[in-house]
Amino acid sequence: MKVRLIMGLLALAGLGLLAGPALRAPAVALAAEGDLLAETHKAGGVGCADCHEEEPPQKMTPTQKCLGCHGNYDELAKLTMKVEPNPHQSHEGKLECEACHHVHKPSEDRCLECHAWGYKVP
């Protein structure tokens, strides 16, 4: 539960959706600007084995593992409901998290392939 809360705060901080300084402070301390998500996860106490099923890691973590900590698609859409248009209510359906969020390389705004909304993707 603690990991899910921390990661939810990190996601909200990255999207600029946290309202109060009491909520913003711990998330900002963990999610430094430009950090890869692997570093952000590590700062939040999430190790390689928490996401990867083998040691040493060999395969990409499946989306279901991401959703186990970050919440299902409906919960993610609620977290980003103030972002217009909501990136977690895509006309492309339920995308794999890795479509935008990368852990070991910089994340990307996949929507830029067609749109110019300019999301900041954590």
pLDDT band at 1 (very low <50, low <70, confident <90, very high): very low
Longest dimension (CA), the chain: 40
Of residues 21, 20, 26, 57, the one with CA closest to residue 40? 26
Pairwise CA distance, residues 43 & 82, whole Å: 27
Query: pLDDT digits over 36-80, tens only?
Result: 999 999 999 999 999 998 888 888 899 999 999 999 999 999 999
What is the residue type of 36? Answer: L
Contacts of 102 (CB under 8 A, 6+ apart): 36, 37, 108
What mean pLDDT is predicted for residues 9-32? 43
Query: pLDDT digits over 95-112, tens only?
Result: 999 999 999 999 999 999
What is the residue type of 9? Answer: L
pTM passes above 0.85: no
pLDDT band at 16 (very low <50, low <70, confident <90, very high): very low
What mean pLDDT is predicted for residues 80-85? 94
Indicate the domain borders of the chain: 2-113
| pLDDT of amino acid 54 | 82
Contacts of 79 (CB under 8 A, 6+ apart): 8, 11, 12, 15, 17, 71, 88
Pairwise CA distance, residues 116 & 46, whole Å: 33
What mean pLDDT is predicted for residues 79-84? 94
pLDDT band at 90 (very low <50, low <70, confident <90, very high): very high
- The CATH T-level fold of domain 2-113 is Flavocytochrome C3; Chain A, domain 2 (1.10.1130)
Pairwise CA distance, residues 36 & 41, whole Å: 9
Of residues 27, 3, 6, 11, the one with CA closest to residue 119? 11
